[in-house]
Amino acid sequence: MLPEHSDLSSPVFLPVTDETCANLLQAGGAKALESLTDPELAAVLVIQNLVQTKEQDLGAVAAEKILAKLLAWAVDTRQSTNASLLSEAQRLFDPRKLYFGLKVLNPLNLRFLLVEEISARDYLLPDGQWDFEYKVRRHRSHDPFSQPIVTPRYRERWLSPAQDKLVRTFRANLDEDLHVQGYAGIGKSHLLVALLEHLRPEKTLLLARTPAKLEVLRQRMVGPSEKRAGKTFLTFAQSLMLGRRPQAEGGRIPTRQALAQELNIFGFRHYDGPATLELCLKAIERYCRFRDHTFSAKHLPHFNQPLSSVDAQVLLEYSSRVWGYLELNPAWGSQTGFEALLMIKRACIAGCVVPARYTHVLIDESQDIPGSLLQIIERGRQVLITLGDEYQQASGVPVKRHREVRQSDISYSVRSGRNVERLVNPLIARHSQKGKIPFEGASDADVVIKEYPEGFVPSGGCVVLTASPWDSMIWAIHLHDSNCKFRFPDKRTQDELKHFMATAIELFKPDFYRSEFSENGVHPYFSDLPDWQAVCDANQFDESFLRVKAKLENGFMIADLTRLNRMIDNAGNGCLLMLAEEAGGMEFDKVLLTPGLLTNEKFKDAYAFDQRICAVYIAISRARLKLYVPYDVVEWVEYHEYQQFRDTAGH
């Protein structure tokens, strides 16, 4: 039986290196042909031939057949005539054809070999001809999933050596809490399903933060009932609270402005009622993330001008009113943007525990766990198994487990190759707080990394990962102006950006738009920024903001925003636009890092740079096939290593 990861359409590896081809493209590169072996010469001719091959004949299989014919001809002519593959290569060599042939290698499932592999010549039969079995042997020798196990459910699973070691340890210690710290692409979801195979389904609670992440796990399961297993954080909390207290009668959900009026939230400092309500919601969200039972001043948001004791008391009073309303009217929680956190906190305060019928709780992407959920779980006696990646938590305070836990570290990524490893390890080394175990990319993974020029427009299906809402806004404008359709991960994200852009335009021209677009209130991002000058002051070092500001000064208005929204095509194959920090736990074929993400502006302090390191790490490690970067990431890290922070005192 083959491993479930076996790819019967594995790529054909041409016996030539990327460096050799690059040298041939240099001025006078044809001279380098003289130093190449017959297999290398044949590979060069195959690559050249790709640009003139009929579309129906394109592909790795056809290319391999041509390679084999050229080598067979070389063997035959070597003994019968003075002709050689070198003379043919010199006669047919065309740098232009080679250049364009190299552009289509990856889509055609053709790859290069490493220098040491070319020297070993394992791809040749004893008589010097091409060995068609070589790609199978190479795939098996490089397949990280080399360890077969038979689970208690009599299913065969294939694991990497590191995964196999961990599963065997787990199997021998089923009553011990476990945490697996693993970098992006180590196969955490695959590993989690293998762990599940050793537990009784009816006694195991599987949790994931979002429906999308839960679905990723379900797709790896086998039986029909297993494919329905698991709960999201929200549905789990709802099940705990079911029947605990009466639900408010349904009806029209009030707007933010109406709710502020109903709760007598008149304003605070220079904020009006709806803006003050947003500040209250920020405070409540912070409260929901932590284990704290009591709501206090430590949960209030950060202000550029510190709060006086009177200001703090006023805001705490308003926030308490909002919390009380949410307790009595849980339906309004869907308007907050953190409904799951609210429900979890309610369950935590109510003293809920994991039902006794469960013996084990498993959570993927454990960096997403709020402290209040961990508190609920740790009240019970269930074994807790978590899998996560600390570098995929860009902001916030890591949640610490109170119980003793066995930790295992896995650093070998089966998704990312050595080229991604070269980019990731400098990021890990530069972070001021997190672990320093080196990231190791698979030798056979081959994410292609391309530097793109200014004004570049990615092809459809590419995922554009941004640094901030300003960055998302400028890229939405750029894609629109380039007639490139785009989309968002979900409707909530789409509506959030629309709201953000409308508020930015409103603040830029308050006389034109404030009254017209007041129904939704101010976007939460601007809750501490009462006017355009305050926005400018707060974002003066943000390159993306400065680009947006220039667009607004050139006349970008609500009408332009309406036209931009028409380019959104959630049903099509447009570019996917999302914040890098929101992409954790996902993977995509093609990923683009924006210049805003790799900014050359000085960071405020070490904490801000640590956040950006994590965001860049998340973005880099999402790509399966191709990664677009504005410039070399290693150089970006080195540049900032010698930059002074704007605020040397820290955050």
- The closest alpha carbon to 407, from 174, 177, 164, 162, belongs to 177
Report percent pLDDT > 70 for the chain: 93
Q: Once rounded to an integer, what is the mean pLDDT over residues 29-35?
A: 91
pLDDT at 6 over 70: no
| Cα(196)–Cα(373) distance, integer angstroms | 21
Residue 4: count other Cβ atoms within 10 Å of its Cβ. 12
Contact 160, 116 (CB under 8 A): no
Q: Worst-scoring range by mean pLDDT, 8-22, 330-344, 517-531, 605-619?
A: 517-531
Residues 419-441 have a mean pLDDT of 92
Tell me what the pLDDT averaged over the chain comes to.
87
Q: Rounded to whole angstroms, how far apart are CA atoms 524 and 138?
A: 53
- pLDDT tens for 555-592 read 999 899 989 988 888 777 789 999 999 998 888 999 99
**Region of residue 323 (left: phi > 0; alpha: psi -120 to 50; beta: else):** alpha
**Banded model confidence at residue 52, pLDDT cuts 50, 70, 90:** confident
Print burial letters for 222-242: b (CB count within 10 Å at least 16), e (below 16). eeeebeebbebbbebbbebbe
User: Of the ranges 154-158, 163-167, 646-650, which is most confident?
Assistant: 163-167
Confirm if 578 and 493 have CB atoms less than 8 A apart: yes
The answer to whether residue 515 scores a pLDDT higher than 70 is: no
pLDDT beyond 50 at 650: no
Task: Find the angle CA(459)-CA(421)-CA(437) to the nearest 5 degrees.
Answer: 140
Model confidence at 5: pLDDT above 60: no
Average pLDDT over residues 424-445: 89
Cα separation values, 557 from 509, 548, 630, Å: 9, 12, 29
Q: pLDDT-based confidence at 524, cuts 50/70/90?
A: confident
Predicted pLDDT of residue 56: 53
Rounded to an integer, what is the distance from CA 305 to the centroid of its chain?
Answer: 34
Are 236 and 363 within 8 A, CB to CB?
no
Q: Which of 43-57, 408-422, 628-642 has the lowest mean pLDDT?
A: 43-57
3-state SS class at 308: coil
Cβ contact 401:378 at 8 Å: yes
Q: Which residues contact 110 (CB under 8 A, 6 or more apart)?
A: 11, 12, 13, 14, 47, 60, 63
CB atoms within 10 A of CB 191: 25
What's the pLDDT score for residue 247?
Answer: 56
At 516, the pLDDT band (50, 70, 90 cuts) reads very low
Which tokens hold the place of 591? 């990923």
147-150/412-417 β-pairing:
unpaired
Please state which of the ranges 72-81, 180-189, 496-505, 614-623 shows the lowest mean pLDDT.
72-81
| Distance of alpha carbon 415 from alpha carbon 190, whole angstroms | 12
Can you give 13-67 as a three-state secondary structure string? EECCCHHHHHHHCCCCHHHHHHHCCHHHHHHHHHHHHHHHCCHHHCCHHHHHHHH
Confidence of residue 250 (pLDDT cuts 50, 70, 90): low
Q: How far apart are CA 612 and CA 360, in angstroms?
A: 35
**Contacts for 484 with CB less than 8 Å, ≥ 6 apart:** 457, 458, 460, 567, 574, 575
Region 154-180: what's the mean pLDDT?
88
On the question of pLDDT at 37 being above 80, the answer is yes
Q: What's the pLDDT score for residue 632? A: 94
Q: Mind listing the pLDDT tens digit for each residue in 302-356?
A: 877 788 899 999 999 999 999 999 999 988 998 888 999 999 999 999 999 999 9
Length reported for the chain: 651
Percent of the chain with pLDDT strictly greater than 90: 52
Question: What pLDDT shows up at residue 80?
Answer: 65
Backbone angles phi, psi at 68, to 5 degrees: -65, -40
Provide the pLDDT for residue 631.
94
Which pLDDT score, from 0 to 100, does residue 248 have?
A: 53
Alpha carbons 337 and 344: distance in angstroms, whole number: 14
Instruction: Point out which residues pair with 12 in neighbouring strands.
Output: 110
End-to-end CA distance of the chain: 56
Q: What pLDDT shows up at residue 3?
A: 44
- Whether residue 8 has pLDDT greater than 50: no
Residue 407 has a CB neighbour count (10 Å cut-off) of 11
- Encoded tokens for 17: 């290196």
DSSP tag of 397: P
Give per-residue pLDDT as tens, 288-297.
998 898 899 9
- CA pair distance 319, 311, nearest whole angstrom: 12
Residue 151 CB-half CA count within 13 A = 20
Of the listed ranges 67-76, 82-91, 201-210, the one predicted with least confidence: 82-91
Please, which residues have CB within 8 angstroms of residue 534's CB and are 6 or more apart in sequence? 528
Q: What is the mean pLDDT of residues 133-162?
A: 82
